Amino acid sequence: MKIDRDAPIGVFDSGVGGLTVAREIMRNLPSEKIVYFGDTARVPYGSKSKDTVIRYSRQIIHFLEEQQVKAIVIACNTASAFALDAVKDELDIPVLGVIEAGAKVAAKETRNKRVGVIGTLGTVGSGIHEAYLKQLDPEITVIGKACPLFVPLVEEGWLHDPVTTEIVSRYLQELKDKEIDTLILGCTHYPLIRSTVGRVMGDQVTLVNPAYETALQLKALLAEMDISSSGTGEEDFPYRFYVSDLADEFKDFANSILPYDVSMAKKIDIEKY
């Protein structure tokens, strides 16, 4: 199949969190167009079963294929953990998750070979980071910690609130006790509380942001496949946003974190796909 280099990149997430990944793609691949889908009607994915997350992901991928995207980025860590393996051979276009790029950088960064991973119950429970990291270096010890309260705190906008510092400290104490020197922010929302996490963990711990690392991996992949955009990125609507519910709320959140003015998000019926 011939892939159109000027087609958009499809990016999807369970909701607003994946905008942290879209943001890194906007910053690092400024001439690429994006079609973003946030599954705001069915969020959260982090507490759902693998089968359900695979079914939701397949529906979204069908929608994105209909939008004629040239590649798909599964921005959601939980969907990457649960669905990437199941869907990647079903597609004619490249599909990337957010786990691999973060794991690679963590394996390179760690000095004492003790890596922490924080994420949803689904992501941490899947053990996927450990599987990747052990493959890269069998001597690495991986310590996972699910932090289910972080997502609602971020969505509430309490990014710099003392309550957030308190909760972050409580969840992360275990990782401090286990003397990790590298921490993967394994959930879409966590880059937004990165400074608090960094303060709690201390300077000696390197934080890995999979959103940024995935954007770089995407850039390399498009170049390698010779399908990078030929455009200048100066089109009127280079970025399109779709959701399964609450389009106005989505738009407000998007405008609070993106370097781009989101004028609308369109609601679609994802159950049709």
Residues near ligand DGL (CB under 6 A): 13-14, 17, 43-46, 76-78, 119-120, 123, 151, 187-189
Nearest CA-CA partner of 151 in 44, 41, 36, 232: 44
Residue of minimal Cβ distance to ligand DGL: 46
Task: Report cis status (omega within 30 of 0) of the bond before 44.
Answer: yes
Shortest CB 152 distance to ligand DGL, Å: 10
Shortest CB 12 distance to ligand DGL, Å: 10
Distance between CA atoms of 182 and 143, rounded to whole angstroms? 10
Shortest CB 126 distance to ligand DGL, Å: 10
Distance between CA atoms of 77 and 211, rounded to whole angstroms? 10
**Cβ-contact 74, 217 below 8 angstroms:** no
76 labelled catalytic: yes
For ligand DGL, give the closer residue by CB, 188 or 228: 188
Shortest CB 31 distance to ligand DGL, Å: 26
Distance between CA atoms of 166 and 203, rounded to whole angstroms? 18
Choose, from 187, 207, 257, 265, the residue flagged as catalytic: 187
Rg (CA), the chain: 18
Distance between CA atoms of 74 and 85, rounded to whole angstroms? 11
187 labelled catalytic: yes
Choose, from 76, 103, 105, 262, the residue flagged as catalytic: 76
For ligand DGL, give the closer residue by CB, 188 or 196: 188
For ligand DGL, give the closer residue by CB, 123 or 196: 123
